[in-house]
Amino acid sequence: MMVGGYKLEYIHPAAILYYLCSISDFFRSTMAHAIAMASGGACQIVIYSDAATPGNVFRPDKGRKFEAFYWCMPEWPDHVLQRSMCWNTLALLRCSIVDTIPGGLSFVASKLIRLFATMDAGILLPGESGPMMSRAKFNGILADLIGHAQLTAWKGPNAVRSCVKCANLCARADDHLVAGDVGLAEHDDKLFVQNTNAEIYLVVDTLATFAETCTSNTRLKKLQTEIGFNHDPLGIMLDKEMRSLYRPVEHQLVDWMHVYCQDGVANSEVACLLHRMAALDPPITNDMVRTFISGCSLPKEHGKTTADWLEPKRLRNNSLTAFASMTLSIVGCLSMFLALYGVAALLPLEVECFGLLDSILGLLSLGPSGSMTYVNTLQHLTSEHHRLFAMLYPYAIKPKLHQTHHVVSAMRDLGRLLACFVTERKHRIAKHFAINTCRHFEHTTLLDCLHQQCHMLSHGHDIFSKEFLVHPNSVKGHDKLFTSSVAVCHVGSLHAEDVVCLRDGVVGRIDGFWRYGSGGVLVKLQIYECHNNECSLRDTSRCRPLIVEAAHIIGACIWCPCSIDRVIKVRLPPALLF
């Protein structure tokens, strides 16, 4: 494909679907499931776009920095959508080349989206009992807010008009708002005036007409500031042929990882709450919290806690500098700290606000379809959290606080909740191959990514299987019975010694995993009884064995020892409370 004078190599989506169906039994069943779940007979296509830099993140190799495009079908089962190897690579292109293409990333994206137009008519895929017809339509782009700005010539979240979806949102100070506008502190989503695609395209067309006749660059910049879009004659917004494929209101999918956990709302609230506790008399110091967090135990897949997570140099400008996974763990640990030491008696509203944040993140973590059960609850929690945050920390309000509402609206538009955690993990694969590629960068890296995915499938490592044991060992005398200390299931990777919670509220420690033949994964647990009828306190001295199917597990828990001998404090999944 020629893009701005450059030959862009890509993996055609129809071709990869056909090939994967031909070599993987599990992928055939995955596609059969997607076809059965498709609304109106057509599956949805979501493209992910982001830049990645190979090498040491603290000493990046900018010459190898590249734009990555991956894609998936939201109708795939949850366990497939949450495994990085299961997202298909569409194209890779160095950022230095993107910068030389007229229209930039927006122009490149418009060419790639067109590839999926051919799938609307349908393709025949190998099925279990014969060919099966699959139809699919492009239905959104998943990216961070800066990525969406680059893709659509939107001025971005820090502009005066900091939201594509809301026509009346204005980031100016409240005393500078005009009639009908609302500020970033507004929490009531009923007051947001929703844009339509026709209105956005009318604004962009009007700007284009003005740019053709305007002789003053200052006037053009002023108009762009007021309407929230830049004039990009070769971008996706002014491509008239793309308007039947790309709808800016529905297709801008807001990612909750970046909104909450990547210099997001959670980072700000953790920092503000720590400052507020340190200002008490007597103070609850940062060192106290750091000591507590260093004593907490995470699921093994999440690593270990460390006091360095909250060292003073990370707490700057009312925000916590931390990776998204660290932020999620910090919120869970800090939530236990607040409950265990009764901080609500000193800071009732602050603790209530933080509890809402913890519940929101817990429900969002349930996965693409699991979180959809709580979409109405999430809408209410988001609005109430926004109200309390704006009241308690007005100095820390950022545009991402408003975007939390559009996490929920994107869930409703798509019918699933997708997040960038899985695609950020997929970056590791592409960066691993890119770091040592010196010639034919895009061609070589793209083929390496494809070959690894196909190699794993063709050699028996079926990444589309719902459950499997990691490095299983056969049991002597039982040819079909296998055991392992690590298993992968619908909640991700679980390890022996992890503390997990079951759907009925039972909490226990994993002893090991078992599987007989092609059956489901069984988990042997030591169940912990409640202490004094308090569900979050568990007595490790009173335990009993239990064997359950892995499907009964809600998730792995964070826990910490408490002052009572052999009693632990467990952070129960918020799904149990709603």
pLDDT, tens digit (0-9, with 9 covering 90-100), for 86-112: 899 999 999 999 999 999 999 999 999
Question: Is residue 461's pLDDT more than 70?
Answer: no
287-325 pLDDT tens trace: 999 999 999 999 999 999 999 999 999 998 889 999 999
Burial 69-82 (b: 16+ CB within 10 A, else e): bbbbbbbbbbbbbb
The answer on 226 and 93 residing in a single domain is: no
d(Cα 380, Cα 159) in Å, to the nearest integer?
27
Q: 238 in a domain, yes or no?
A: no
The answer on 219 and 70 residing in a single domain is: no
The answer on 92 and 52 residing in a single domain is: yes
- Span 382-393, average pLDDT: 97
d(Cα 185, Cα 405) in Å, to the nearest integer?
12
d(Cα 186, Cα 180) in Å, to the nearest integer?
12
Name the amino acid, one letter, at 17. L
* 341, two tokens: 């030491």
Question: Is residue 356's pLDDT more than 90?
Answer: yes
- What pLDDT shows up at residue 148? 92
Q: What is the mean pLDDT of the chain?
A: 91
The answer on 98 and 183 residing in a single domain is: no
> Is the backbone of residue 104 left (phi > 0), alpha (psi -120 to 50) or beta?
left
Q: Which residues contact 294 (CB under 8 A, 6 or more apart)?
A: 305, 306, 307
Q: 58 in a domain, yes or no?
A: yes
Of 452, 458, 523, the closest CA to residue 485 belongs to 523
The whole domain housing 514 covers 468-577
d(Cα 535, Cα 424) in Å, to the nearest integer?
35
The answer on 289 and 363 residing in a single domain is: yes
The Cβ-side half-sphere exposure at 517, using a 13 Å CA radius, reads 2
- 266 and 429 Cβ atoms separated by less than 8 Å: no
Task: Tell me the CA distances in angstroms from 144 to 56, 150, 249, 371, one per residue in order.
Answer: 22, 10, 15, 20
Domains: count for the chain? 4
503-538 pLDDT tens trace: 999 999 999 999 998 889 999 999 999 998 899 999
The answer on 132 and 40 residing in a single domain is: yes
- What pLDDT shows up at residue 460? 60
209-267 pLDDT tens trace: 998 888 788 888 888 888 889 899 999 999 999 999 999 999 999 999 999 999 999 99
The answer on 517 and 386 residing in a single domain is: no
- What pLDDT shows up at residue 175? 65
Which residues on neighbouring strands pair with residue 163, listed in sequence order? none
Q: 561 in a domain, yes or no?
A: yes
d(Cα 401, Cα 269) in Å, to the nearest integer?
11
62-95 pLDDT tens trace: 778 899 999 999 999 998 899 888 899 999 999 9
- 457 and 46 Cβ atoms separated by less than 8 Å: no
Q: 67 in a domain, yes or no?
A: yes
d(Cα 40, Cα 113) in Å, to the nearest integer?
21
- 450 and 433 Cβ atoms separated by less than 8 Å: no
State the DSSP code for 177. P
- What pLDDT shows up at residue 530? 93
pLDDT-based confidence at 14, cuts 50/70/90?
A: very high
The answer on 124 and 14 residing in a single domain is: yes
- Give Rg (Cα) of the chain: 25
The answer on 38 and 10 residing in a single domain is: yes
| Range with lowest mean pLDDT among 136-145, 319-328, 473-482 | 473-482
- 528 and 540 Cβ atoms separated by less than 8 Å: yes
| Range with lowest mean pLDDT among 8-22, 159-173, 258-272, 276-290 | 159-173
Q: 226 in a domain, yes or no?
A: yes
The answer on 298 and 262 residing in a single domain is: yes
Measured N-to-C along each axis, helices 286-294 and 265-278 cross at an angle, to the nearest 10 degrees, of: 120
DSSP-assigned states of every residue in 514-568: EEETTS--EEEEEEEEEETTEEEEEEEEEEEEEEEEGGGEEEE--EEE-SSTTEE
| Strand-by-strand arrangement of the 252-254 sheet | 88-94, 66-72, 43-52, 136-143, 252-254
pLDDT-based confidence at 343, cuts 50/70/90?
A: very high
- What pLDDT shows up at residue 462? 64
d(Cα 531, Cα 509) in Å, to the nearest integer?
16
The answer on 403 and 262 residing in a single domain is: yes
Q: 240 in a domain, yes or no?
A: no
- 19 and 102 Cβ atoms separated by less than 8 Å: no
**Local structure of 90: helix, strand or coil:** strand
The answer on 295 and 224 residing in a single domain is: no
> What percent of the chain is helix, strand and coil (3-state, nearest 5)?
45, 20, 30
Last residue of a domain, one of 196, 231, 266: 231
- 364 and 371 Cβ atoms separated by less than 8 Å: yes
Is the pTM above the cut of 0.85? yes
| Range with lowest mean pLDDT among 68-82, 157-171, 309-323, 358-372 | 157-171
CATH number of residue 475's parent domain = 2.30.30.490
d(Cα 110, Cα 237) in Å, to the nearest integer?
9
d(Cα 153, Cα 1) in Å, to the nearest integer?
23
- Span 270-289, average pLDDT: 95
**Local structure of 460: helix, strand or coil:** coil
Of 249, 25, 17, the closest CA to residue 135 belongs to 17
Q: Which residues contact 552 (CB under 8 A, 6 or more apart)?
A: 502, 503, 504
Name the amino acid, one letter, at 347. L
Name the amino acid, one letter, at 193. V
Q: 236 in a domain, yes or no?
A: no
Q: 271 in a domain, yes or no?
A: yes
Last residue of a domain, one of 214, 231, 248: 231
d(Cα 257, Cα 144) in Å, to the nearest integer?
9
